[in-house]
Amino acid sequence: MRPITKQQKKVLDFIKSFIKRNSFPPTLEEIASGLKLSAVSTVHQHVNALIHKGHLQKRENFARAIEIKKEAKISDFIEIPLLGLIAAGAPIATVERPELIKVPREFVVGTKKHHALRVQGHSMQDAEIFNGDIVVICEQTNIEDGGIGVALVNGKATLKKIYWEKTRYRLQPANTEYQPIYVKNKDLEIRGRLTGIVRSRFELVTKEGNLLPLTRTANTFDQRLQINNRRFIGNKSKLLGFISDIVAEKCGSYQSFCDIFAGTGAVANHFSRPGVKVIANDLLGSSYNSLKCWLETTTYDTERITGLISHLNNLKTSGQNYISKNFGGTYFTPANAKKIGAIREEIETLQVTPQEKAILLTSLIYAMDKVANTVGHYEAYRKTLDTTQEIKLLVPDINVQNNQNNKVYNKDANKLVREIECDVLYIDPPYNSRQYGDSYHLLENVVTWKKPKVLGVAKKMEERGHLKSKYCLKSAPEAFRDLILNAKTKHILLSYNNTAESKNTRSNATISDKWILETLKMRGKVDTFERDYKGFTTGKSDASGNSERVFYCRVTN
């Protein structure tokens, strides 16, 4: 186990003594009270650190879920060969450098041969397989459809979800930044199935068995939908660590966090935890619906939702419907378009609560993204319709324990900022003139389900004025200044990409750095943090030299 700080040791000792006295673990509130800590969020950070360092473990979806992690025994592990690298990106040649390592015995299935490979690349990160992790592979020449395994393509190995599509295989990454790899049947060889992972940020077990890695078995993969499992312009999922470090350094303890341009909710979800009120807002109805699912669900019947989603997945389609008539053969295959339309109609007829409806619609929106014949938005569709896998809805993995204090809005940010107060205000507005209402018109259409007339090649709704953001217009600088001057908060963080110089002026930033700094300095001292970042591009912009900046202001005025 990794060393811990003095404060973390106090928390660990308190948990041990509490369990010894009561025979059950304490809540975060009880730990805070027992150690006389004012903020439950501080306890949450210490508990997470103890989990990551191998001292605690947490049972998902249980109250009083903290447990002391038992020390590893030599008998709990088994030696297998580590053969080298496996690509989680473009296929690379595995490096045959056999050495023996110890992995949890539960990762080894029956009497079949197993080996380990070290992951190189980021294409499987949404399946929680990260660069540097070690994967355990059961050697076999077949795999269930959609299973994660090792495929050999032209003599090079890659780790992907493997789907069979009639005359070819589709090697599907678990990262929206990567495209699927299509391989003819004769050109692909399956070498094995994933059975477990050893996390890279923890030491491997020694031969004495005294170091315990953070591990995860393969049967827990892909059972639930995660909040970051979709493509979205400006999504900050890859920058959460960067943003979190700034908040930790500059803001200290806080009781409320507002993400006022929340989009998918990735940032708001990251800061959602017991004892903290998260406020999330977005102008788009489709984003608002998903925010209600991920951040405002405080309780739900998992078995009921699972049953409803299974029912929707098994619907039989017949005849044309609104989606198939307007979007079949372009954005989706005719079969998937029929299925989407049928599912959406069925959701309207189900006897469900508003919260259950938000969950079902979120599952549908995310499933549509997986089968959409697009590059991640709906301003256009790809000429070649080769995204042919069948649509499948998944049950969202919602952390209801973190959502007890949260509030979600569907308002103009400049109006909402006058109505709320928060400790930390995070601002991630549109950077350029590309309206999100145009980029995600199809999702708005599906969520609102008013079946309006659609126009043009892209089949956009005729009435979209209510979706237009002033931050994409020439009025953006004044709108930004109005927002900042009316914010009732202690800390302001603004994410703003420099967007460099673009071949298409629609991609140029609408607010200058000079204006941003002048405006923020009206409220207090400003610090700027910067990181190189490959942002979204439609193909017409030169993204080289782009960086993501976070402007921080401690509010004193």
* C-beta of residue 410 within 8 angstroms of C-beta of residue 288: yes
Give the closest residue to 13 by CA, choosing from 35, 44, 29. Answer: 35
Residues contacting 200, CB < 8 A, separation 6+: 119, 130, 131, 132, 133, 134
Per DSSP, 328 falls in state B
**3-state secondary structure string across 83-149:** EEEEECCCCECCCCCCEEEEEEHHHCCCCCCEEEEEEECCCCHHHCCCCCCEEEEEECCCCCCCEEE
Burial class (CB in 10 A: 0-12, 13-18, 19+), 389: middle
Q: 474-481: which pairs have CB atoms within 8 A and are 24 or more residues apart?
A: 474/510, 476/429, 476/510, 476/511, 477/510, 477/511, 477/512, 477/515, 479/414, 480/429, 480/511, 480/515, 480/516, 480/519, 481/515, 481/519, 481/522
Residues catalogued as catalytic: 123, 160
Site of tokens 């699972």? 306
Please report, in angstroms and rounded to a whole number, the separation of the first and last CA atoms in the chain. Answer: 46
Instruction: Report the Cα 414 to chain-centroid distance in Å.
Output: 27
Question: If you ran DSSP here, which 8-state letter would residue 205 be given?
Answer: B
Nearest of 248, 446, 254 to residue 347 by alpha carbon: 446
Task: At 397, list the tokens.
Answer: 């993995």
How far from the centroid of its chain's Cα atoms is residue 407's Cα?
Answer: 20
Strands 134-139 and 114-120, sheet pairing: antiparallel
Cα gap 239→549, rounded to integer Å: 10
Residue 292 vs residues 268, 297, 446, 496: alpha-carbon distances, Å: 12, 7, 16, 25
